[in-house]
Chains A and B, each alone.
Chain A
Amino acid sequence: MAQEPVVRAAFRLRSAEIGIALVFLVFAGLIIFDSIRQGARWLAEGPQPGYFPFYLGVLICAASLVTLVRALLMPAEQNRTFVQVGQFKLVLSVLVPSAVYVALVGWIGIYVSAVLFVALFMRWLGKYPWWKVATVSIGHSVALFVIFEVWFLVPLPKGPLERLLGVG
């Protein structure tokens, strides 16, 4: 057996299992709460709107409780690294800019945001020269524009720049 390299864990399997099980439980709680409010019983004219979701919620609860208990009882040697620090940094280095990108889309439109987003990645993670960064990021947005707005006539969110250019 290959020896496992010594790396720092950002967090371990047990915490990840518990975290996701709790997400499921919260979701199930939301479903059950609203179903009871709507009525989850059986009336003369048939089931109330909450009838079906109520039992879904109960099933999610039951299944997630199994996961939760199993995670809590997990022996220490099975509690392997869920994600290493280095990996987790890489994941966040995509996730955080992506969230910022989505926020920008609503504000300055999808095309300008996409140019900035692709350029940021190529420059920051890829260390490309500026001319390559500019060609790919702007070329990509122009291609998007041609495919969606011109060929398929599907409008995408636009911002001040497009209005200035008279295409918004």
Chain B
Amino acid sequence: MDEIQSLMHGFGVALTLKNLALMFTGVILGVIIGVLPGLGGANGVAILLPLTFAMAQTPDGQTSAIILLSCIYWGALFGGAITSILFNIPGEPWSVATTFDGYPLAQQGKAGQALTAAFTSSFIGALVAVILITFLAPVVAKFALAFGPPEFFSVYLLTFCAFVGMSKEPPYKTIAAMMAGFGLAAVGTDPVTGTLRLTYGFTHLLTGFDFLVAVIGLFGIGEILLTLEEGLEFRGTKAKLNLKVVLETWKELPRYWLTSIRSSAVGCFMGIVPGGATPASFMSYGVARRFSKDGDKFGSGQVEGVVAPETAAHAAGTSALLPMLTLGVPGSPTAAVLLGGLLIWGLQPGPLLFLEQKDFVWGLIASMYLGNIAGLIVVLTCVPLFAAILRIPFSVIAPIIIVICSVGAYTVHNALFDVWMVVVFGVLGYFFRKLQYPLAPMVLAIVLGDNAEASFRQAMLFSQGELSIFFATPLVGSITGLAFFLLFWPLISLGLAKLRGR
């Protein structure tokens, strides 16, 4: 039981007073970010990332920095549920499915019950995912030690093909958005030969487009513009959460154990295979509706309809860190931003991380357990406070968030050019969101573009230009095969439906 021993060591690293304080700070910041429109897990972490540059230089600072940032992420995952249930506004895309039953519950005066159910099932989903990470991550990492460029490229291929096959957006739009992301990543210095390309003479583009800037613009400003269409006021129900409601709901929750297990499984699967938290929550809601005996009452305020998407969203959001840590392939935009952080602090995510940075990895995994406990405590005790934030009118919140986004963009490279890019990406994000262009694969492509290209070209150098190298061994062949299966899944499922229809 090496893992248990390593985990205990990790608790030793994570359980310092400083780290605990950072955990609570992170969770509280995260919930605020999750509640505010325009700030979410991905861009919240992106904005705060530059603040950790100095922190990561100190001894053990990298662990503290990742604890702070990952706790912001957990907080944001929790926070999304608050706005969905009380205001019928999903603060995060993954909490859209929570509004279906959460908001009706709140309207019936059962907001406390809905919130408790949401928070508790989020916690359980995350816990299952963390346990999975604890035991599966070292195995995957050991396995991945034998990976060469062809294997890595096939994993990248799998990641991106999964987006095409699994996302709800039209496949051709997914491809366009994703390839545009790769295109943006290709701008600047060629990772292999070092020649400049696609800069068209702009000196600002020498280093390429920074994904942090893209994330802040696409998710931040884009979201604000989208929210604005709905008007300037939010109207919501009041939240009362006292110990009695919490305990009563907890008594009721074990009834939904089967839903919890199913949703955790869906969530973990979708998180590791990069589908992400959002589709996981929808899928889990759909599955729960089909299998529940109260399935036809879903949508009218069923606690089970809150449990299912929340468990899955949190499980997916957490397990998205598994491929990020072990393979360097993040499963969600926020995991991608965290990966970017690791790279900036000078850590190379991937299998070697588990050998060379034991303190960091196990400190992080231990902090996931602690951070989610901290999260549950914070959200259960402070809901009215967070709900009050949403009552601040948009004419105050919107400009402040835009200023924060601009500051975040500026601090990445101390360049005003990046602030302009945030505005441009914001407008693009607004249109992309309304026209169903998925943002997650685009962001992942910007982050992974250089690595994917480098591993592709190295593999091709090995094989002297033969594409057959991606099918050369059973391992790489099966990953590539799975990738193509997922890529053509929309066509395959269409064909199956046709066959069945006959």
Contact = CB atoms under 8 A, between A and B. Distances in A.
Interface of A: 16-17, 19-20, 23-24, 27-28, 30-31, 34-35, 38, 42, 46-47, 49-53, 56-57, 59-60, 63-64, 66-67, 82-83, 87, 90-91, 94-95, 97-99, 101-102, 105-106, 110, 114, 117-118, 120-122, 125-126, 128, 136, 140, 144, 148, 152-157
Interface of B: 50-51, 54, 170, 172-173, 175-176, 179-180, 182-183, 186, 190, 192-193, 195, 197-198, 200, 221, 224-225, 228-229, 231-232, 393, 395-396, 398-400, 402-403, 406-407, 410-411, 414, 416, 419-420, 423, 426-428, 430-432, 434-435, 437, 453, 456-457, 460-461, 465
A18 B131 CA distance: 47
A21 B456 CA distance: 28
Contacts of A51: 457
Given A49-B197, A105-B419, A118-B399, 4 more contacts: A53-B183, A94-B402, A122-B399, A152-B51
A156 B410 contact: yes
- Centre residue among A31, A64, A66, A101 by max chain B CB count within 10 A: A31
Contacts of A27: 180, 183
B345 to A, nearest CB: 15
B173 A67 contact: yes
Contact of A46 (B172, B420, B461): B461
Contacts of A90: 228-229, 231-232
A102 B406 contact: yes
* Interface majority SS (helix, strand, loop, mixed), chain B: helix
A122 to B, nearest CB: 6
A120 B400 CA distance: 12
Nearest to B174: A63
B403 A59 contact: no
B180 A35 contact: no
Given A34-B198, A126-B395, A155-B414, A110 B179 contact: no
A111 to B, nearest CB: 10
Nearest to A116: B399
Contacts, number: 162
27 contacts: A16-B431, A16-B435, A19-B431, A27-B183, A30-B200, A34-B198, A34-B200, A46-B461, A47-B460, A56-B186, A59-B179, A60-B179, A87-B228, A90-B229, A91-B430, A94-B228, A95-B423, A98-B426, A102-B423, A121-B395, A125-B395, A136-B396, A144-B407, A152-B51, A154-B50, A155-B414, A156-B407
Nearest to B414: A155
A46 B453 CA distance: 13
A35 B411 contact: no
Contacts of A120: 399
Which among A99, A106, A154 has the highest number of chain B CB atoms within 10 Å? A154
Contacts of B414: 155
B403 A140 contact: yes
Interface-central residue, B180, B399, B456, by most chain A CB under 10 Å: B399
A74 to B, nearest CB: 12
B190 to A, nearest CB: 4
A59 B175 contact: yes
A157 B416 contact: yes
Contacts of A42: 465
Contact of A99 (B193, B228, B423, B434): B423
A161 to B, nearest CB: 16
A157 B411 CA distance: 10
A148 B173 contact: no
A94 B420 CA distance: 15
Contacts of B175: 59-60, 63
Contacts of B50: 154
Contacts of A106: 416
Given A63-B172, A102-B423, A106-B416, A20 B410 contact: no
